[in-house]
Structure 1
Amino acid sequence: MTEPATVRMPAAFAGSDLDRADHIRADADALSGLMDWRARLLKMDGLAPVAGADNCLEWGTLADCEPEDELVFLGLLGGKGCFAAVPQPGKSGPAPAMPTIWHMLATMPAADLATYGAARSLVDWHMRHRFCANCGQGTRIAKGGWQRSCDDCGADHFPRTDPVTIMLVEHTDGRLLLGRQPRFPARRFSALAGFVEPGEDVEEAVAREVQEEAGIAVRDVRYVASQPWPFPSQLMIGCHAMTDEDALTVDETELDEARWFTREEVAEAMQAGENGAAFIAPPRLAIANTLLTWWLER
């Protein structure tokens, strides 16, 4: 991989004000001492955020929990313990694709957005890992919610983050390759992306994904920026790569379409938003938007 970008790119869902306080997680007495009247409980509707004035996250107290809820320790804020509740099965809340939720997230303060993203990923993991993957028995919460343990076989399980490469592919003539997934709205184009597979590094994942989805070879892979993405829990690894190849062979199981765009077309789309003439740019919360901004400004 070539020399990385020297300027840290701002990313949505990163930059929480919470101190994660790792030293408290395994200290049962210290953790118990934080569960008093001063403790704060992040209000969530299943996995959806609950926002109040100025679209900031709403906090309650531990008295707002259901008796059967498990508590996840998010960290410290102003010396107070901050927690989130893991709802019981069947209480997942509104679907994350609802426009109202995305509007809320798009206008939420950056630090609150990052706090919600971490909480959502962690709570979602607990909801999906109530049973041991080793023996099938029920698991219990441990280390303040940063582990689940099986008392039957002794296995410990930890929250996972899945690495995903997302890349801008630039032709030597200055055009940029973007694709449209089947689930995208009409005319929405974004950077190509795909999960890093076992046994490959980031450069190999970038090259493989571009070859699979668009049928071209790339070189000079460069790391640009990263972003946590809590739907459910990915780390988006933003990259840039070059190619000398022009003809595309689109994998229609992955993409509906892939096209080359000029710098002028990308600039117009980024400025015009939903009214873009050439295409509709990725939303501001997505790292693809950050990558396109970087590409236009570098």
Structure 2
Amino acid sequence: MTFVHERLTVEPHDRAGALRKDDAWLAEQWADPETRVLVVSGTRVRVEGGRVPWVPPADAPEGARVLLGQRGGRTWFAVIVGSALARGEEGWLPLRGLLPVLDDDPADAPMLLHAVGVAEWHAATRHCPRCGGSLDPRAAGHELVCVDCGRSQFPRMDPAVIMLVTAGEPGSDDERCLLGRQSVWPEGRYSTLAGFCEPGETLEDAVRREVAEETGVAVGAVEYFGNQPWPFPASLMLGFVGRATTTAITVDEDEIEDARWFTRAGLRAQAESGEVVLPGGVSISRSLIEHWYGGSLPGRW
């Protein structure tokens, strides 16, 4: 079974990191009419006709150029411009709004996540943390250098755990999985639990802590499942499957409004009726749920 989050690796691009400081090569690639450019306004990307448009350099606006890399005999860039462009026109979506597009056409997903991740970093990193000075982009958008003290900043990724917790005899009709929902979500949406890893904490302990904090359920054994870039704004989602040692639920009523145990049959029935709506797109959450279920499930966010 191919899981939905694995579509992000269908056609990975060569990031050409060694060429990011080769100004002559970058200029040559920018002058090539076969090169393609993604315009990012702030952290939003335009969608036209259900697809993300890539334009030749001649049609790209002025902005911060980010080398994404090479794929299919072409060089690919992103250009980051101010957020005013997205405010002035329709069709500009944040990355969450792009998930259905990535699900339908996943070939460009790795480059889109790359581009938006760098754009999020540029938007969040406005001043030098050492002296407060202004930052100048270098290395084709992948380095920010302070114009006053010379300190360099590089993109950071925040490790976050996302987990499907199970209880009962594995593979039996009575085995259950734990899903929760936030109060801000539309009615019926449920997903796997997730949270950020804290300093000095292993990933497995982060799984146990987050589940206990959000639902009161204790988790014992934890097994790694897979990972996924998730630039909201700068996360690397690390997926796990955990085995519960207790099943009583006490939600924190802060991050989680409700949490429930679902059998396979119950989850299928409620997904078919629309009572429960599961994550969609290229989400690793969907992959975790369907891995446990043993096949595809209907409905998606």
* Smaller-chain TM-score bracket: 0.7 to 0.9
- List alignment gaps of at least 5 residues for structure 1: 1-6
Residue 124 (structure 1) shift? 2.0
Contact 1:47 1:92 in 2 (8 A): no
Taking the aligned partners of 1:72 and 1:36, their CA distance within structure 2 comes to 15
TM-score normalised by the chain length of structure 2: 0.85
The 1-side partners of 2:24 and 2:47 are apart by 32
Give 1:70 shift: 1.1
Q: 1:142 to 1:98 in 2, by over 3 A?
A: closer
Contact 2:46 2:93 in 1 (8 A): no
Question: SS at the partner of 2:58?
Answer: helix
Alpha-carbon distance, 1:276 to partner:
2.9
Moved more, 40-49 or 139-148: 40-49
Q: CA deviation at 1:96?
A: 2.5
Q: What pairs with 1:136-215 in structure 2 (closer than 5 Å)?
A: 136-173=132-169, 174-215=175-216
Shift in Å, 1:267: 2.9
Deviation at residue 56 of structure 1 after TM alignment: 4.0
Equivalent residues of 2:102, 2:109 under 8 A apart = yes
In structure 2, what is the equivalent of residue 34 of structure 1? 29
Aligned to 1:14: 8
The DSSP-based 3-state class of the residue aligned with 2:225 is: strand
Matched-pair identity in %:
35
Distance 2:96 2:290 in 1: 26
Q: Please point out which of 57, 68, 81 is paired with 2:52.
A: 57
Q: Select which of 71, 81, 84 maps to 1:77.
A: 71
Is residue 226–residue 240 contact of structure 2 (8 Å, CA) maintained in 1? Answer: yes
Residue correspondence of structure 1 range 181-260 to structure 2 within 5 A: 181-260=182-261
Rounded Cα–Cα distance in structure 2 between residues aligned with 1:43 and 1:290: 30
Change (3 A) 1:26 1:44: closer
SS across alignment from 2:261: strand
Cα offset, 1:193, TM superposition: 0.6
Q: Supply the RMSD in Å over aligned alpha carbons.
A: 2.5
Q: Deviations over 1:94-144 (max 9, x none)?
A: 453886x5543443x111122212111112211222321221111111111
Q: Is residue 40–residue 81 contact of structure 2 (8 Å, CA) maintained in 1? A: no
Summarize deviations over 1:141-187 as a string: whole Å, max 9, x none. Answer: 11111111112112111112211111111113511111111222112
Deviations 1:227-248 (A, max 9, x none): 1123222111111111121211
Letter in 2 for 1:295: W
Structure 1 match to 2:172: none
Letter in 2 for 1:289: R
Distance 1:34 1:45 in 2: 22
Residue 295 of structure 1 corresponds to: 292
The answer on whether the counterparts of 1:9 and 1:225 sit within 8 Å (CA) in structure 2 is: no
Residue 124 (structure 2) pairs with residue 123 (structure 1): no
Instruction: Give the aligned residue type for 2:81.
Output: P
Q: CA shift at 1:42, angstroms? A: 1.4
Q: How many residues align?
A: 284
Give 1:23 deviation, angstroms. Answer: 1.3
Specify the alignment match of 2:106 in structure 1.
110
CA distance in 1, matches of 2:152, 2:3: 35
Secondary structure of the 1:35 match is helix
Deviation at 1:33, TM superposition (A): 2.7
Residues 139 and 149 in structure 1, CA contact (< 8 A), matched pair in contact too: yes
The counterpart of 1:286, out of the listed 255, 267, 283, is 283
Q: Give the letter for the 1:222 counterpart.
A: E
Stretches of structure 2 that go unaligned for 5 or more consecutive residues are 170-174, 296-301
CA distance in structure 2 between the aligned counterparts of 1:213 and 1:197, rounded to whole angstroms: 15
